[in-house]
């Protein structure tokens, strides 16, 4: 249903980008996708949400990167608000890896990030990394402090990220792919 | 880097967890509508609590000896008395801004914490609300395991009998639901205990020894993906 006409017959490889509301998931996908990100946005409804942004993802975002004639990599962004969490299960099925984004400047959202990690870890234990986004902004928590706050072990990569910056996004994805490689090598 | 936030969404247990894990030295400043507190930390343990009329007063003293002088403290007994008098006031705060300044204050070697932070963390965890515990224990399918130094940390935490029973059942296999059923305790009590254990570093989420991919990926295809991303 999400595939473009030219992708028919190609195998879809799926990476999911999850995270709390306004963590920068849509931006992350936008920055790296070869196509304009397909968005399913609606206007924000509550006053608190409107203070942060005017539109929010309600089903998913997806970006696309062509790999070869037979394969295409899709980046699926989950909705950040918990009222759309039924989408997490739909998007989690069949993924090869997970990127969890957090807004490093907003510790009130770290709890939601932890819930998201708990959710995927208990259902889809795929390789994952955490992107500590908005590291360019004042008041950003360090990736190390975010790791402790999310109850993550040292073996989980918590990476500094600026989702507007292509190299920064590439670095996070490459780190995830390295984790996936470890699984393939049986480590 | 900053450790700042609001007590309404990030409580003392969460703050202490970070300061303890990293064994941080420094000053935690709490600003409320009518009171300001400076909480002094040494190696991740709480040493002293000072009430200040204005926040900038905190940053006038870079040596703890000067703090002692201004507070009229002549020795360890005075520090202890003032600490235990102010601790309940501090811990009862539910609203206000917090910010932690690492380093900054110099301590002499003889300044030692009186109360292990693990004990304070467990005390606070016993009073958490359902909404708060769900921040960490959001799924009854979660599985926990003990950390390497769990015995030392549990001793410092001064656990009660129920907490000890829960700790005995944590083995990297049982889920939250299994423990609840085996002990016959209510879920909220169990969640509070697990929240405290996590924050005190006694347990951690079980590490997945084997991760699974939801797609039949080959090393050759993975190499192609890596090269493609690098070239973008």
Per-residue pLDDT tens over the stretch B176-203: 999 999 999 999 999 999 999 999 999 9
Chain A hits for B10, Cβ within 8 Å: 107-108, 110
Q: Please check whether residue A126 is in contact with residue A154, taking contact to mean a CB–CB distance below 8 angstroms.
A: no
Q: Give the minimum alpha-carbon distance from A43 to chain B in angstroms, rounded to a whole number.
A: 25
Q: Does B70 touch chain A (CB under 8 A)?
A: no
- Look up residue B106 and give its two tokens: 């110099």
Yes or no, beta carbons of B219 and A142 under 8 Å apart: no
**CB-based burial of residue A83 (10 Å sphere; 0-12 exposed, 13-18 middle, 19+ buried)?**
exposed
Q: What is the ipTM of this complex?
A: 0.86
Q: Give the minimum alpha-carbon distance from A42 to chain B in angstroms, rounded to a whole number.
A: 26
Yes or no, beta carbons of A96 and B213 under 8 Å apart: yes
The domains of chain A are located at 11-184
Q: Give the minimum alpha-carbon distance from A54 to chain B in angstroms, rounded to a whole number.
A: 23
From B24, B34, B27, B98, select the one nearest B66 (Cα to Cα): B27
Yes or no, beta carbons of A107 and B225 under 8 Å apart: no
Which of B221, B223, B227 to mutate to probe the A interface, most A CBs <10 Å?
B221
pLDDT per position as a tens digit, B93-133: 999 999 999 988 999 999 989 899 999 999 999 999 999 99
Yes or no, beta carbons of A122 and B4 under 8 Å apart: no
Long-range contacts, B109-115 (Cβ 8 Å, 24+): B110/B76, B111/B42, B111/B47, B111/B64, B111/B79, B112/B42, B112/B47, B113/B42, B113/B43, B113/B45, B113/B46, B113/B47, B114/B76, B114/B79, B114/B80, B114/B83, B115/B45, B115/B46, B115/B83, B115/B87
Residue A141: closest C-alpha in chain B? B2
Yes or no, beta carbons of A118 and B139 under 8 Å apart: yes
Would you write out chain A's pLDDT as a tens digit for each of its 187 residues? 455 666 777 889 999 999 998 899 999 999 999 877 666 666 666 666 555 566 666 566 789 999 999 999 999 998 766 666 777 888 888 999 999 999 999 999 999 999 999 999 988 999 999 999 999 999 999 999 999 999 998 899 999 999 999 999 999 999 999 999 999 988 5
Q: Does B209 touch chain A (CB under 8 A)?
A: no
Yes or no, beta carbons of B136 and A111 under 8 Å apart: yes
- Look up residue A182 and give its two tokens: 């470890």
Q: Please check whether residue A37 is in contact with residue A63, taking contact to mean a CB–CB distance below 8 angstroms.
A: yes
The residues pairing with A18 across neighbouring beta strands, listed in sequence order, are A100
Residue A116: closest C-alpha in chain B? B138
Yes or no, beta carbons of A145 and B134 under 8 Å apart: no
Q: Does B129 touch chain A (CB under 8 A)?
A: no
Q: Which CATH number fits domain A11-184: 3.30.420.40, 3.30.2270.10, 3.40.50.300, 3.30.1490.20?
A: 3.40.50.300
Query: What's the pLDDT at B199?
Result: 96
């Amino acid at each position: 249903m999400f595939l473009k006409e030219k992708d028919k017959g190609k195998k879809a490889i799926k990476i999911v980008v999850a995270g709390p509301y306004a963590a920068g998931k849509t931006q992350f996908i936008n920055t790296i996708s070869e196509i304009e990100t397909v968005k399913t946005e609606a206007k924000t409804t509550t006053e608190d949400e409107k203070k942060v942004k005017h539109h929010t993802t309600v089903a998913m975002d997806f970006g696309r990167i062509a790999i070869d004639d037979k394969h295409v990599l899709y980046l699926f962004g989950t909705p950040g608000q918990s009222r759309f969490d039924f989408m997490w299960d739909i998007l989690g099925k069949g993924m090869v890896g997970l990127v969890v984004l957090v807004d490093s400047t907003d510790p009130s959202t770290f709890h939601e990030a932890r819930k998201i990690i708990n959710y995927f870890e208990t259902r889809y234990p795929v390789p994952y990394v955490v992107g500590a986004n908005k590291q360019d902004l004042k008041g950003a928590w360090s990736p190390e402090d975010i790791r402790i706050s999310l109850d993550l072990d040292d073996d989980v990569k918590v990476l500094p990220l600026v989702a507007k910056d292509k190299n920064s996004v590439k670095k996070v994805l490459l780190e995830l792919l390295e984790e996936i490689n470890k699984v393939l090598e049986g480590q | 880097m900053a450790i700042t936030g609001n007590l309404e969404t990030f409580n003392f247990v969460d703050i202490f967890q970070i300061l303890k894990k990293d064994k941080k030295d420094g000053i935690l400043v709490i600003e409320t509508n009518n009171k300001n507190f400076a909480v002094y930390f040494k190696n991740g343990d709480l040493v002293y609590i000072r009430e200040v009329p204005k926040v900038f007063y905190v940053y006038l003293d870079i040596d703890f000896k000067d703090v002692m002088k201004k507070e009229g403290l002549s020795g360890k007994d005075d520090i202890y008395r003032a600490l235990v008098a102010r601790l309940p006031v501090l811990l009862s705060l539910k609203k206000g801004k917090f910010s932690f300044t690492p380093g900054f204050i110099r301590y002499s070697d003889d300044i030692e914490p009186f109360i292990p932070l693990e004990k304070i963390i467990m005390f606070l965890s016993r009073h958490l609300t359902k909404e708060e515990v769900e921040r960490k224990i959001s799924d009854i399918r979660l599985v926990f395991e003990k950390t390497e130094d769990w015995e030392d940390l549990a001793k410092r935490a001064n656990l009660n009998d129920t907490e000890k029973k829960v700790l005995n059942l944590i083995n990297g296999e049982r889920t939250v639901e299994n423990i609840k059923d085996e002990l016959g305790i209510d879920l909220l009590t169990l969640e509070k205990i697990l929240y405290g254990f996590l924050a005190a570093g006694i347990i951690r989420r079980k590490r997945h020894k084997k991760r699974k991919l939801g797609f039949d990926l080959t090393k050759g295809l993975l190499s192609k993906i890596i090269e493609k991303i690098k070239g973008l």
